Homo-oligomer: A and B are copies of this chain.
Amino acid sequence: MVNFECDYSRGAHPRIMERLMATNMEATPGYGLDKYCHHAESLILDECGISEGKVYFLTGGTQTNACVIDALLRPHQGVVCAESAHINVHEAGAIEASGHKVLVLPSSDGKVHANALRKYVEDFYADATYEHCVFPGMVYISHPTEIGTLYTLDELEALSRECGRLGLPLFMDGARLIYALAAEDTDMTLRDVARLCDVFYIGGTKAGTLFGEAVVTRRPGLLSHFFTLVKRHGALLAKGRLLGVQFETLFSDGLYKEIGRHAIDMAMMLKSAFVGKGYRLYIDSPTNQQFIVLPNEVMDRLAGYVSFAVWGIRGESETPVRFVTDWSTSENDIKVLISLL
């Protein structure tokens, strides 16, 4: 079976495993207070171009979203996001579990646009009964979005400006940020993200670590007492140095960029192959997730040799499916797929 099911099917990138082995017998303080976490933090802040910021390491995406959103909101506030947002659809109510409403904006491209946000907030305060409603308290976006699209730098600049004007912290879920930054036509850099978002995270789980997400902020005051809040969410890893070691490796010798570029290269080969064979794109995605519409008989035949995910619900005669690449995808994997088409 060739694996295109997801970008968290295997363990970790070999260089990361090596480092975990090499440091295995060292004794360090727990809970992220070790030298590896400190070093990884400084590597990341450097890469982000932030001098006075702060980095926190957590284990997974849903818990990271829950902790950050719980930290940023007061009880009368909710989090504004696109209807398709992961926090709205696929986190089993983790945000509501902390008492906060998810306030959804309709969005055809999976993004929150500055003008849609402005209108939402203006309409909110224009309604005479707004004090009976959940206040918008922050904005959540993901990059790439849930459907693989990317913000342009202009779009993120505008959104960031609007958030600033409205006093709403802007939070980016970067579970797959690595692939957004490596996409072919993007004009967004990690420094742009760090400058334009109040808080964001750099996903590790889907980028070649065993697990781990690095929360970054240039405004540490927004996350005061975050250590205790993370503990309260059951999200504080005892052997926190495992996160430090992994992110230190990811941000050494360009590994982060290398992994991103490789996965994008593979994804573009894969996309070309499908397009070349006349298949229709369900979404034209520039990232490591490729969405193709397959006739059901093709889908069923492929399923014997290649793993991938049905995107939503199986259709009558054709079905959108998702193919994902990552650090472990090989050119040969793509060739096998092509030969099967």
Complex Cα spacing A20 to B232, Å: 29
Shortest Cβ gap from A102 to chain B (Å): 8
Of B14, B237, B310, which one neighbours A59 at CB under 8 angstroms? B237
A17 touches B21 (CB 8 A): yes
Of B76, B211, B236, which one neighbours A237 at CB under 8 angstroms? B211
A229 partner residues in chain B, CB cutoff 8 A: 75-76, 92
Closest to A175 in B: B238
Of B1, B10, B242, B314, which one neighbours A11 at CB under 8 angstroms? B242
Complex Cα spacing A312 to B14, Å: 42
Identify which of A121-129, A214-222, A276-284 touches chain B: A121-129
Q: Verify if A101 is at the interface (C-beta below 8 Å from B).
A: yes
A165 partner residues in chain B, CB cutoff 8 A: none
Q: Verify if A74 is at the interface (C-beta below 8 Å from B).
A: yes
B128 touches A310 (CB 8 A): yes
Complex Cα spacing A94 to B234, Å: 7
B11 touches A309 (CB 8 A): no
Sort chain A's interface into a size bin. Answer: 35 or more
With known contacts A97-B99, A97-B232, A132-B90, A313–B5 Cβ distance under 8 A: no
Residues of A within 8 A of B (CB): 1, 3, 5-6, 8-12, 14, 17, 20-21, 23-30, 59-67, 70-71, 74-76, 78, 89-94, 96-102, 123, 126-129, 131-135, 205-206, 210-211, 225, 227-229, 231-239, 242, 307, 309-310, 312-314, 328
CB-defined A-B contacts under 8 Å, sample of 21: A3-B27, A8-B30, A9-B30, A14-B24, A21-B21, A27-B328, A66-B234, A75-B93, A90-B132, A91-B234, A92-B232, A94-B234, A97-B233, A98-B99, A123-B313, A131-B227, A132-B231, A132-B236, A206-B238, A211-B237, A211-B238
Q: Which 3 pairs of residues, A with B, have the shortest CB-CB distance?
A: A63-B234, A11-B24, A3-B27
